[in-house]
C-alpha cells in the first residue's frame, strides 16, 4: 500500500491534469511555489491544512475530493492507546452497589 503522501500527490497530479493546469498555474492559483507542487505530487512534501484548502479552491473542488483515492484499498488498523483501561465497573464498585441495594431492600422490608 502506498503512503498517504504518495496517494495524495498522485491524486493532486490527476486532478490538476484533468483541469488542464500545469504546475505553475496551479501553484499561482494556490499561492505556493511551483517547486512545492512538484514535491507534493512526488510524495516528498506534504501541504498544510491551509494549503490543502487553497489547492481544493484552485481546482474548484472540495477537500474530500483530494483525499478520494479510487482503486486504492486503504487498510485500517485498530490502535490501542497505551495505559488505557477497559471501561467498566471494578469489582469494588460492583460490591459497593450490591451492598447499597441490599441495605435499601432491608429498609423497605422493614
pLDDT digits (tens, 9 = 90+) for 62-77: 999 999 988 766 566 6
**pTM score of the predicted model:** 0.65
In the chain the domains, ranked by start, together with CATH numbers, are 4-66 (1.10.260.40)
Is the pLDDT at 1 greater than 80, yes or no? Answer: no
| Cα–chain center distance at 8 | 13
pLDDT (tens digit, 9 = 90+) per residue, 28-72? 999 999 999 999 999 999 999 999 999 999 999 999 999 998 876
79-90: average pLDDT:
65
Distance of alpha carbon 49 from alpha carbon 107, whole angstroms: 62
Work out the burial of residue 99: count CB atoms within 10 Å of its CB; fewer than 13 is exposed, 13-18 middle, 19 or more buried: exposed
Amino acid at each position: 500500500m502506498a503512503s498517504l503522501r504518495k496517494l495524495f500527490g498522485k491524486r493532486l497530479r490527476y486532478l490538476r491534469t484533468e483541469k488542464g493546469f500545469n504546475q505553475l498555474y496551479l501553484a499561482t492559483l494556490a499561492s505556493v511555489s511551483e517547486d512545492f507542487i512538484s514535491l507534493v505530487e512526488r510524495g516528498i512534501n506534504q501541504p498544510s491544512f491551509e494549503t490543502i484548502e487553497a489547492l481544493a479552491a484552485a481546482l474548484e473542488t472540495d477537500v474530500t475530493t483530494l483525499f478520494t483515492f479510487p482503486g486504492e484499498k486503504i487498510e485500517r488498523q485498530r490502535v490501542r492507546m497505551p495505559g488505557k483501561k477497559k471501561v467498566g465497573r471494578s469489582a469494588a464498585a460492583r460490591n459497593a452497589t450490591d451492598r447499597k441495594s441490599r441495605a435499601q431492600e432491608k429498609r423497605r422490608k422493614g
